[in-house]
Amino acid sequence: MNANAAPQFEIPEEMRAVAEQSIDQAKVAFQQLMQAAEESVSVLDPGENPGEKRQVGALDISKKAMAFAERNVLSAFELAQKIVYTRDIQELVRMQTEFLQSQMQALGEQVKDLSETVGKAATDSKKILKIASLSS
């Protein structure tokens, strides 16, 4: 055996199948949880009621944060599914490194996007408060 060769993983096919099934079940459960959370948040949507427009900013922030959380968890599920079929340590390290790099990039984009949404919500709230104080 070559001393530089990466050790191969010898995971029985049955074990891989169980791991993949567990990942799939966890993914389905998570998607059901996210659907229930989205339905709960949508109940808070003020619609066309002008008296509750200031809640729109908070609703936008909540929806955006939930979308980011869903994207991040689904990325982790995707990585887990790939790991089930990993054949050696080098491949595992490469996949983990790529995952961490993509997550850090996504996190940077998410923080920027969320801060813009928070800023917009604050600006909109100021406008609503100003209009409300003028009409009182």
* CA distance linking residue 26 with residue 75, whole number of Å: 13
User: Domain segments of the chain: what residues?
Assistant: 13-44+51-135
State which residues of the chain have pLDDT below 50. 1, 50
* pLDDT at 1 (0 to 100): 47
* CA distance linking residue 128 with residue 50, whole number of Å: 9
* CA distance linking residue 132 with residue 136, whole number of Å: 6
* CA distance linking residue 133 with residue 130, whole number of Å: 5
Chain center to CA of 100: 14
* pLDDT at 9 (0 to 100): 65
pTM attached to this predicted model: 0.72
